[in-house]
Amino acid sequence: MSKVPISQVKPGMVVEKPVYSPIDNKLLLTYGTRLRDSMIKKLKSIGIKELEIADPYTIFVKPIEKMAVYMKDTYEHVIKKYSSDQPEGNLTDNMIEIVSMVKNTVSKICMNNDILEFCFQMKVLKDNRLFKHAIHTSVFSGIVAGALDLKDDMFDIMVGGLLHDIGCLEMPFLIGLEKKKPQEELLWKEHPSYGYYLSLQNNISRSIAEIILQHHENWDGSGYPKQLKGEAIALGARIVNVCSMVSHHIHFENMQPYETMEYLYGGSKIFFDPKIVDTFISNITLYPLGALVRLTTDEVGIISNVRSNRGPRPIVTVYFNRFNKHLSQPTKIDLGKERTIFIKEILD
């Protein structure tokens, strides 16, 4: 970095420090601005004598810009994981259209600096599971919103899913803590309220803030912080409640998708809105078509059909027996009929 007389400043140079007006001290140029001829003429006209100019080999990438690119890439990876470009790879025919809407919404999310600031804070935590959990919850919530024909509300619901746990930024030492002391549990139950006020203080809409506040309210009134019940809970919050639970089980409890789905079934009408549970199970493929999987029998095969059965019970074409020997003739196992067999792990 060096001070350069304004007479020697040329287009293409990059400002190393912010530039303020000598007249009223207003910000004229931010750090990292690449100068144009019109800018230089304006600076000369108002009496700027010199500028702090960066070394030409220095790159200027603002953290928020880096976050936008990373966010979009992460969203695309998660969307691809749970949906397919081919109709037969999805549980419903309209999934391709829904995913298109979700991707359009992602583009809007990644242009909002207030949202990106929160995501940056989640990303740089030592425990990066919170960020991954947030993205998965947002994608799941967007798909459910699309399946419920909530196109106009998709942005709010996806952002609500993305930021639902931002209150945890105020208590990072509790994130992922399996056993909490009574006082820690009480503090943890305040994170929806913390998130609500944090979001309002940082230009997030009240409708999104309400989703954040209510995402731990349960269908039967047993949730927190206000013990709301049934349809008194905002629809977006009911969606995020279901989607965040699935994501939490995947990222923080290492549960297999079929175990998570069993929990969803069991919690329907108790913790979760049964309509949301049904929509999730009917539209989101937790075991993707074509995935290489190991069964609880230790046989290995490929998921060859996800549409024949409801929920996480696809048809698997088995190619290797439990001793890892290649079968001379592949066999199909319909997990919808073979109820004692489950997918132990995805090998992809």
DSSP assignment of 124-157 = TSS-THHHHHHHHHHHHHHHHHHHTT-GGGHHHH
**Cβ-based neighbours of 155, under 8 Å, separated by 6 or more:** 105, 108, 109
The predicted-structure confidence for 81-96, as pLDDT tens digits, reads as follows: 999 988 999 999 999 9
The predicted-structure confidence for 139-175, as pLDDT tens digits, reads as follows: 999 999 999 999 999 999 999 999 999 999 999 999 9
- Tell me the torsion sign for CA atoms 271, 273, 274, 276: negative
**Cβ-based neighbours of 146, under 8 Å, separated by 6 or more:** 97, 98, 99, 101, 102, 154
The predicted-structure confidence for 242-257, as pLDDT tens digits, reads as follows: 999 999 998 998 888 8
**Cβ-based neighbours of 250, under 8 Å, separated by 6 or more:** 136, 257, 260
CA dist 148 to 33, 89, 95, Å? Answer: 44, 20, 12
The predicted-structure confidence for 182-225, as pLDDT tens digits, reads as follows: 999 999 999 999 999 999 999 999 999 999 999 999 999 999 99
60 has a pLDDT exceeding 90: no
Which tokens in the block code for residue 156?
């709010």
The model's confidence at residue 9, banded by pLDDT at 50, 70 and 90, is very high
Cα distance between residue 327 and residue 318, in whole Å: 8
Res 1: pLDDT: 61
Segment 307-317 mean pLDDT: 90
The predicted-structure confidence for 333-343, as pLDDT tens digits, reads as follows: 999 999 999 99
The model's confidence at residue 265, banded by pLDDT at 50, 70 and 90, is very high
CA dist 55 to 12, 58, 86, 157, 322, Å? Answer: 12, 6, 49, 44, 62
288 has a pLDDT exceeding 80: yes
| Arithmetic mean of pLDDT over the chain | 94
Cα distance between residue 140 and residue 95, in whole Å: 12
